[in-house]
Each structure stands twice: as C-alpha cells, then as structure tokens.
Amino acid sequence: KFLGPNFTESYCWPSVARGCDVVAISYQGNDPFVYIPPLLTLLQLKSCYKALTNKSGPLALILCPGWKKAQLVFELLKTYERCSRQFHPMLIILGQNKAAASSVKIQGCEVIVTTPYSFLRLFEHHNLFCRLCHLVLDEVEVLFSDAAEQVFTILDCYKKASVSEEWEYSLHQIIGVGTRWNEHITRLIKEFMNDPYVVITAVEEASIYGNVQQVVQPCVNSERIAVLLKILDFTHSNPQKVLVFTNSVNEADVIHEALKSNSIFSLKIHKESNSKYILEQWTKKHSSGTPILLVSTDDCMQSLGITDATCVIHFSFPSPRIFGQRLRTMSDHFCNDYSVDQERIKTRSVILLTENTDCHALGILRFLQHAEAEIPPELHDFTAKMLEAEEEKKFSRPLCAYLKTFGICKNRAACPDRHQINMQMDIPQNIPDKILQAPGYVTILPLHIVSATNYFGRIVDKQKDQYTILAEEINEYFKNPSNKISVKNVKALAFYGLCEKRLFHRVQVVEIYPKEEENLFFSVKIKYIDEGRTSQVQSCQLLHLPARFQCLPPQAVEFIVCRVKPIDKETEWNPEVTHYIHHKIKGKPHEAKIVHTLGNTAWVDQMVGI
C-alpha cells in the first residue's frame, strides 16, 4: 500500500542506495523511512561486501537518540526484512552492568540498532568495526545535542578502522538524518564524510546552513516606513536585489508610494499585477549593476518564483510557514561551505518587530535562537508574556508528569499540561491530615507501577487502617449473591463495585464509550479509586455500591521517588527497568519519608522495602 517516496525521500533514496555519504534535514527527518529502504537495498547486494567475507561483525550500525526511537527503528527493520534476505538485526540497549555487555552474542548479526551510550559499553567487549560499512545517525541533531562526545568517539573509531588497504574496495558510508541543522553537523561533514550529498528541504534550516544573516529591528508600528528607509540606505551601498514582504495589498501600496516620494525606484506586485512584466524588470534592472527593490504581498511569492534576492525585509511579521517561503527567495545565494571556494554574496533577512507583533512571535523567536541571531529584549519580553498567557490557558489541566518526575519539561510549548502551581487543584488530597501536619516516615503500599520512580498506592495507618476494615466489609457484603445488583443506568463520575479475581473493588466511571450496534452492553473506562490504575470494562460488570461504602474518600495516592532518573539523558524509563521494579515492589509495604505534597501527589525521599 506504499504510494511512493515523498519529496525528501525522492532526493535521499538514490544517493543512499549508491553508497554516498548523505546528510538530510527535513520536516520529516525523524522518520526512519528516509533511509531504511535504500539501506536494505544496499545490504542485499552481497557483491558490495565480498572483500569482508573473512571477517565477522555487523555491516550497518544505526545510532538512535534513545531506547524508544531505537525500538521503533528495530521494529521497522524486522517488518521490511520480510521483503529481503535475512540480515538478523539486533536491538541492543545496555545499562551499566558490564557482565551484560560482555555476554551479548552478535554472531550472524548484520545490523545493530542502539544508542551511542549503549554502543560504547558494547564496544568495550566486542570489536564492532571489522566489517562496518554503514553508520547511520538517526535524528542527528538530537544525537549531537545530547551525546556529542560519544558520537564523535564512535565516528573517530569508524574513521580509523576504514583507513587500512583492505577497505579500499569496500563501502564506507555515513548517513545523518534529522529535522534541524546543528553546528556539529559542519564538523561531521568536513572531518568524516567524503563529498557528501546534502539534502535540506526545510528552507529555514537551509538558511542557517547557508549562513543567511538574521536581523531583528525593533520599532514602533507607526514608524515602520522611516525604519525601512534607513535599512534601504544601508543596503543600497552595494547593488542588491531587495524584496520587501507584506501581507496586505493596502500596505504594499503605502510602501510603494513612500519609496516613490523618497526618490527610491521600486517595483510593486500583488495578485492584480502583471507578474511577467515585474520579473522582466527584476532581471533587467539588476543587470546594469543598479540596486533593485520589489514590494510584494505573500500571495505572489510562488507565482514569481524568485530565488536570487540578496535581502528580504519582513515589513509585516511572518508566521513560521510564511517566513520559510520568504527566505526561499534568497536560496540561490545560500552559502555552501563544502563546495569549491568562491566569492560569496552576503544575504540578510530583516524582521521589523513592532508592538503589534502577533502570536507567531514564539515560533520565530525559537528559530532566531536556533540561528544564533542577536535577539532584542523587546522580543524576549513579548514572547515571555505569550508563554505566560499560554500557561494560563492550561491552568485547569493536570500538572505536567515530566515536571513532577524529573523537575523539568523539555517541551513546554507543545506539552498540553500546566507547569505552574494552581492552589485550588494542588491542595493535598487523599493524604491524612496528621501526615501533612508532621511529615515524616510513613508506611506505603505501591499497587500500580507507572514507571521505575512513579507509583500509585496507599498510605497505610499502622494503628488502625480504615481502608483495610472497609475492604473486608465490602468483600463480606458482596459474598451474598442477592447483593450483587448490576447497574442499569451507568453515570459518569459515579462510584460502583467491581469484582476482579474474587476480590471486590471500589471504582469510579471516568468515561462512557458509545454503544456498538451488535452489543447489548457498552464499554466504560473506570478508575480503581483505592489503587490509582484505570481499566476498560463492560457496563454489565458494574455493581451497585451502597452509600456507606462510599463515605471513605478515595485512598489512591501518587508517589514519586526523588533523586532518581534514567541514565544516558533519557527522558523516559526503559520498560525493562519498570518491569523489574514492578516485580520488586508491587503490593509490598515500604517505609517512606514524605518530603513534599501537591494535590494527590507525594514526593518521597527515601523509600525502603520492609
């Protein structure tokens, strides 16, 4: 059901399949499909590896920025391996146990998928470069931002291993794919690649690679014309081709008239204009060595097809999408540091920043930071207010799980949850008053393990635990068959009883799913209010729960263990670690010191099994 390669893949696949070194930066750069099909094509050509038949070890190494991405790549390889010869890919994620690294068996494996940290642990015990022909850096910008030292160590080893004579007739390929340009990619290309094929389909990233100077000019909205004239005085010192972009026809007319009254020759184009005449003038005027200026609305960019401008002035503030399209008009002059040296035409992008700057400022600010442009305090202040306003919209959302677990959320802008305290929502819940008044060591019972450091469970009263008494009463009550009354009219947020493995639990209906035509009953999402876990059951399984069993508040509390986080700068726990902790602690009493509480969450430091 594959329809064919997308725009970026159309450029990358031929060069990867020919064995070239490739760097690909695109909006789809985090999709492994950018390199997997052509890499598998190469691996099927046994003739490429004849010189290496006497050696053992992998032919290809795919480095991913974390265990989760490595898992995805591995699963894709297993899927598409069915269409080709068997090359026995291996997913290798190692912790700090040296015995585990030394016991890994890689005989017969031709493709290793791993992370930089795991690979170096493996490399301590295995020679992995004897036959290595293909080194893939998946999400190259993330690898360089999180593990630059480790990646360059691997690149150095790869480079040294391939200088011997026996490699003269063997493939030696490095592939780097990602979504953003990174300063380390320059070193990757210059020191480790051989005449690489560089594909950049994200125009903003191409402008960074192409060394376009980004300038932000703060001004009052009413003074934009005056500021524009000053900028043009500067640009007219050299014969340049200047494009002034605006988003309205009316503004284009105003700019054109202002330039005319200041004796500056300019062209003007919007949808009603004759584009053929304008293009002729754009080419003709500049050939005589004089500067040329074109005022254009955004909707004319594509029809004009201009790519040889030397300066773009953003008279109206652009959205990130429009910003990229405007930059494309200078693409003929984007520098290419890796071609033959030649005289460069400097290119500039000037943004007029006014008090009327709109909601797109945040996206543009992120780009300017990424481009290492000089950012005026006005833009920082404006975007800080915008971020504050965005956070206020999330005020009724739950507190961000990453913030609670690791103390930081790496992607606050995209995260749907809040990152600040809401005193109404964050007042302590389900935590006994005596513990809040005198926090200290308590007995906790982890019952639902979310991750290695995040659990739901109960605080157990050592003297007289009310829930233990209630649970006994509930189970005794439902032993009588006449008390097992199914609920006919299920309501959201109501409390019910539920039998699971001969034990009865208090549950709350969180969501009611639409009834399917062929089914007599409908599904509901429930929460076990004394354990913290959720599940999906049929409505007919819910039992009427007498009011006396609803008096005790829900007992489930979220526990987060302080000062513990995953190795290798991972942002999520590997399921193997969580699985191990699950078997170690679930249902077993622990002594824990509560050091902080917010809402239904208690932070513990430390937590010790009894």
User: pLDDT tens, 5-62?
Assistant: 999 999 999 999 999 999 999 999 999 999 999 999 999 988 888 877 677 889 999 9
- Tell me where in the chain the CATH 3.40.50.300 domain(s) lie: 7-201, 208-337+344-389
Q: Over 80: is that where the pLDDT of 239 sits?
A: no
Alpha-carbon dihedral angle through residues 401, 404, 405, 407, given to the nearest 10 degrees: 120
Q: Over 90: is that where the pLDDT of 265 sits?
A: no
Please compute the mean of the pLDDT values over residues 299-305 and round it to a whole number. Answer: 83
Alpha-carbon separation of residue 7 from 26, 73, 199 (angstroms): 10, 21, 11
109 vs 433 pLDDT, higher one:
109
CATH architecture designation of domain 470-539: Roll (2.30)
Q: What is the pLDDT of residue 438?
A: 62
* Fold held by 7-201: Rossmann fold (3.40.50)
Q: What is the pLDDT of residue 51?
A: 76
Q: What is the pLDDT of residue 349?
A: 95
Please compute the mean of the pLDDT values over residues 64-89 and round it to a whole number. Answer: 91
Helices (H), 444-593: 466-478, 575-585
Amino acid making up residue 244: V
Q: How far is Cα 45 from Cα 165, in angstroms, rounded to an integer? A: 22
Q: Over 70: is that where the pLDDT of 343 sits?
A: no
pLDDT band at 429 (very low <50, low <70, confident <90, very high): confident
pLDDT tens for each residue of 156-189: 999 998 877 666 678 899 999 999 999 999 999 9
Residues 457, 462, 463: CA angle, nearest 5 degrees: 135
Amino acid making up residue 530: D
Please compute the mean of the pLDDT values over residues 317-333 and round it to a whole number. Answer: 91
pTM: 0.89
Q: What is the DSSP letter of 275?
A: H
60-64, 520-524, 599-603: least confident range: 520-524
Q: What is the pLDDT of residue 190?
A: 93
- What's the burial of 407, exposed, middle or buried (CB within 10 Å: 0-12/13-18/19+)? exposed
Q: Over 60: is that where the pLDDT of 342 sits?
A: no
Could you tell me the CATH superfamily of domain 208-337+344-389?
P-loop containing nucleotide triphosphate hydrolases (3.40.50.300)
Q: Over 70: is that where the pLDDT of 237 sits?
A: no
Alpha-carbon separation of residue 155 from 120, 129, 174, 364, 529 (angstroms): 11, 11, 9, 34, 52
Name the residue among 120, 127, 139 with its Cα closest to residue 30.
Answer: 139
Q: Over 80: is that where the pLDDT of 490 sits?
A: yes
pLDDT tens for each residue of 533-571: 999 999 999 999 999 999 999 999 999 999 999 999 998
> Phi/psi of residue 91, each to 5°?
-95, 120
Q: What is the pLDDT of residue 288?
A: 56
What six digits make up the tokens of 227? 């500021």
Residues 6 or more apart in contact with residue 383 via CB below 8 angstroms:
361, 362, 365
Q: What is the pLDDT of residue 360?
A: 78
What six digits make up the tokens of 347? 């290119």
Name the residue among 111, 146, 149 with its Cα closest to residue 128.
Answer: 111
Q: What is the pLDDT of residue 341?
A: 55
Share of the chain above pLDDT 90, in %: 62
Q: What is the pLDDT of residue 137?
A: 98
3-state secondary structure of 194: coil
- Tell me where in the chain the CATH 2.30.30.140 domain(s) lie: 470-539
98 vs 432 pLDDT, higher one:
98
Round the average pLDDT of the chain to a whole number and report it: 89
What six digits make up the tokens of 114? 């791993």
Q: What is the pLDDT of residue 543?
A: 95
Q: What is the pLDDT of residue 6?
A: 93
